[in-house]
Structures are given as C-alpha cells and as structure tokens.
Amino acid sequence: MKTILYIILSLFIIACKGQEKEYLDFKLPVSPVVDTIKVENKKIIFTLTEFLKTKNESIISNEYWLESDFEKFQYPFADIYNIENGNKSKNYYKPTLMELIEIDSTQKLLKIGFVGHNKETDESIIRAIYNLIAVKSNNGKWYLRQAIEHITHNWIVQNENSITYLFPPEKSINQNEIKKQANDIKNICTFFNCEPIKITYYSCLNPKQVFEVKGFDYLPNMYFSQTGGMADFGDIVYSGNNSEFYTHEIVHVYTKKLYPKINRLLDEGLATYIGGSGLHDYEWHRAKMARYLKNAKINLGEHLMPYERLYIDGETPIPYMIGALICERTIRIYGKKKLFELFKSGNDIVNILEEIGLTKENLTNEITEELKLTTTPYMQ
C-alpha cells in the first residue's frame, strides 16, 4: 500500500503544460439528484467547475480553493491533481458532480466521480469517487477545501508530547504503543539532533479507512492491501495498521523537513533501518534478507528504484532493504555525518554509491558481506 499511496501523492510533481481545449471548455455534468435551481447550489457548481478547469495548472495555489488549506496541508488537492489523465490519453476520466449534500448553511459536501468511457468498446470505468467541502465565505463566495475535518469530526483526539492522535470512535486505543512511539521519537530527535516535530497521526483501522479519511469513497487501490500507511505533507501520518506505533512513517516526516532533497532509496532505507517495514522491525527483515541472498541469483544493482514491487515472501521489500543496508554500512564505515551529507546532496543513487565505495556491480557482494556482520545500531 505504501507504494500505491506514494504514487498518488507524487502526482503533483508531474509537469503540467496546460490542459487541452476540450477539457478547458467542458461543462460539468451534474447528477439529477442535485438541485440545480437553488441559487447557492448554482454558485457552488460554478466554483467546482472553475476549479476543475484550472486545478492542474498549479499544485501550490488555486483561486477557488480555500487559502488556509494550503497553509495546513501544503498541497491540499494533490490526491486529485491530474487524476483525469489515463494511460493512453489526457482527460480520459471526466468529472461528474454526483451529490451535493448540505452540512449547514455555510458548508456543503460534494461527491465527485471521475469516469472514463471507451468509445471503441462502449465500456466505462470509474477511477475514483472523491469528497470535497464547499464553504461559504463572509463575502458570499464559495471556496473548496479538504473533507478530512468533516470526515473525522467525531473522532477521539489524544495529545502525547509532539503527536496529536486521532482515532475513529470504534477503535480500541493502545496506550502502550503510544508510549513506545514517544520513546522512538526521542531517539529519532537524538539521532538527527533536532527538536520534535508536531505531528498529526490518523490511527485508522485499515488501509481502506486511510483512503476514506483522505476523501475517497472509492479508489481501486484502497482494496489492494491489508496494511500500510503514509507520511503526508503538513506533518501528517496516516496509519492503516490499527496501530498507534508507526516509526517508519514518523521518520519520513523528519526527513521531509530536515532533508527535503534526500534520495528516495535512502529515505525509504533509513525509515526501514530505524522503524522496520510493515508489521516487522528491521532485524526481522534483515535476517530474512540474509537468508534470501544465500540462495537467490539476483543483482541488487538492478533494483534501485525504491517503489519497485519486489518482495521476499510478500513481506520484505527488497529495494527498501537495499537502502537500509546502504545506510547501515555508511554509518559503520563513515559515520553518521557522512550519511547526512548524502541526504543533503540531492544526488542520484549512482553518484551516492560512488561516494561510499559502492557500484551497481559490487553492490550485491558488499550487502551480502554487510549482512554477515552484527547489525550496526543507528543510535551508536
């Protein structure tokens, strides 16, 4: 799931050179269940239409989106940025306003479906159903914002040092995990020599609920995995593991803030080194990787894309472990300072490997040898 969520989040970095005239001139289809006679509904439909026309022009601003959302979430509509584009054509998945539901006199819930139609086969496919909130300003204009606060308005809130936890009402809260997470954050701050970052942590029951909290009623990806989560911009962690302990994603919050140019392989590697991956800690994955390399014929130098779906027994992500062992080896041989220099450099992985005596050709052997040694603790 982490891979899928990252792909969704990463849509915003795709360069957009403007939308096709066909899309810019579109008239938003509206379901007949929506009352289009009401004056305020007409205003909301206009705002939504103009937003959909312009949203792919910029991920950092939009005149039809509430400005405070950019301050809080940084990229508040990243999940639907360029969502219209299919594999074969732009603007394949056309938006439709499916429902407009009144919350109160100044807030309406909008449900938008993105549906593609293949004229050759006469088949239709739905990509997503997404929720937004339309909010009325003091000047009478309507703006859009994320639906997350509405979706979680009845969730339980608990503050623990630097983390604000939010729990669905039906969840059993694990206080021992909360204390364990607080201890890990102390170690992370010591490791980075930094102050704690204030984090909002949505503790969801499963990945499906993570997607729902983020605004999706439907997305095929929400049914792909039973575990997972993500660290999002705005210092937010979404856990789909029914757990209050998710150090892997907490590490990502710190690297986003401290080392924004960090190489992705090293970023996932460090998070795995410190916080493990999925339901297991680093030592568990390390032992599995060591056993795997004894018999597998694999060139690790060919698997440096961090989000390649390559696993040992469906549990241990090989690219993450490559990154973790590179981090561990760097600390053991060169020290933590050198590792931070690599994070800061923004170099591609090949250049990074060269700085620490590694190449694509010798990587398998060097990592195999590293696995024969006792684990080097990141907190040494």
**How many angstroms separate the CA atoms of 26 and 23, rounded?**
5
12-36 residue pLDDT tens: 444 344 444 445 567 899 999 999 9
Task: State the greatest distance between any 2 C-alpha atoms of the chain, in Å, as a whole number.
Answer: 72
**How many angstroms separate the CA atoms of 267 and 259, rounded?**
9
Q: Does residue 11 have a pLDDT over 50?
A: no
- In percent, how much of the chain has pLDDT > 70? 93
pLDDT-derived band of residue 7, with 50, 70 and 90 as boundaries? very low
- In percent, how much of the chain has pLDDT > 90? 85
**How many angstroms separate the CA atoms of 181 and 250, rounded?**
9
Contacts of 71 (CB under 8 A, 6+ apart): none
CB environment 158-174: b (16+ within 10 A), e (fewer)? eeeebbbbbbbeebeeb
170-188 residue pLDDT tens: 999 999 999 999 999 999 9
The mean of the pLDDT values for the chain is 92
Contacts of 36 (CB under 8 A, 6+ apart): 30, 42, 45
pLDDT value of residue 20: 45
CA dihedral 378, 282, 264, 8 (to 10 degrees): -140
**How many angstroms separate the CA atoms of 222 and 231, rounded?**
16
What are the CB-based long-range contacts (under 8 Å, 24+) for 143-147?
143/47, 143/64, 143/65, 143/66, 144/47, 144/48, 144/51, 144/64, 144/65, 144/66, 144/77, 144/110, 145/65, 145/66, 145/68, 145/69, 145/76, 146/69, 146/73, 146/76, 146/77, 146/215, 147/109, 147/215
Backbone φ and ψ for 137, nearest 5 degrees, come out as -85, 175
Element (H, E) at 139: none
DSSP one-letter code for 316:
E
Nearest to 171 by CA among 223, 251, 239: 239
288-302 residue pLDDT tens: 999 999 999 999 999
pLDDT value of residue 81: 96
pLDDT value of residue 228: 87
Nearest to 34 by CA among 102, 93, 84, 94: 102
Q: Does residue 205 have a pLDDT over 50?
A: yes
pLDDT-derived band of residue 106, with 50, 70 and 90 as boundaries? very high
**How many angstroms separate the CA atoms of 131 and 98, rounded?**
10
Q: Read off the amino acid at residue 320.
A: Y
Q: Does residue 278 have a pLDDT over 80?
A: yes
Nearest to 290 by CA among 207, 373, 196, 187: 373
Between 257 and 380, the more confident residue is 257
- Token readout for 304 is 């440096």
pLDDT-derived band of residue 227, with 50, 70 and 90 as boundaries? confident
